[in-house]
Amino acid sequence: MLWLAALVVLGGLTLLFGMLGDDRAGMSRGTGPDGRALVILDPGRGGHYFAPGAINGQAVNFLVDTGATDIAVSERAARQMGLEFGPRMTVMTAAGPAPAWVTRLDTVQVGDLRVDDVRASITPGLGEDALLGMGFLRHFSIRQEGGQLIIASTGASGG
């Protein structure tokens, strides 16, 4: 009987932490009425937009950051992906200046939206998520509507 009570408690805790966990919200993709490919992101906790995607075919979780010039990946992720560490530079972060390296990404994809040959930075201490900056986003139409972030192909590039 004790094991049954423990199982019920464990199940309850699993459900509770599932509801309170890392709310990355959702992403849907499709085609708009004009035939353009689009990605629709719901905000996660704190109002941030997260999007599953890929860099050079390898899965990553992006934090959409319209204030970031480039896509930024952590040093650890860059080594795992086999990215080339180019010239050293300094980037401005919310915490102040930080060292980084310039790199190029063969492909970046979010949903059906794709950009080839994208400049990026490798930033130590960035964390688990990559930042999806304007190096990718500038190729698309971006708007907020009804609390969602909509990223749409302009027809000239991307999916």
The CATH number given to whatever domain includes residue 116 is 2.40.70.10
Question: Is the pLDDT score of 34 beyond 80?
Answer: yes
* 119 found inside a domain: yes
* 118 found inside a domain: yes
Q: What is the dihedral of CA 50, 53, 59, 64, to 10 degrees?
A: -40
How many distinct structural domains can be found in the chain?
1
- pTM of the entire predicted model: 0.78
* 2 found inside a domain: no
**Structure confidence at residue 20 (pLDDT):** 36
| Distance separating alpha carbons of residues 116 and 138, to the nearest angstrom | 13
| Distance separating alpha carbons of residues 71 and 27, to the nearest angstrom | 19
61-87 residue pLDDT tens: 999 999 999 999 999 999 999 999 999
The neighbour count for residue 77, using CB atoms within 10 Å, is: 20
Mean pLDDT of 129-151: 95
* 115 found inside a domain: yes
Q: What is the mean pLDDT of the chain?
A: 82
By residue range, what is the domain housing residue 112? 25-153
* 5 found inside a domain: no
| Distance separating alpha carbons of residues 75 and 79, to the nearest angstrom | 6
* 12 found inside a domain: no
* 16 found inside a domain: no
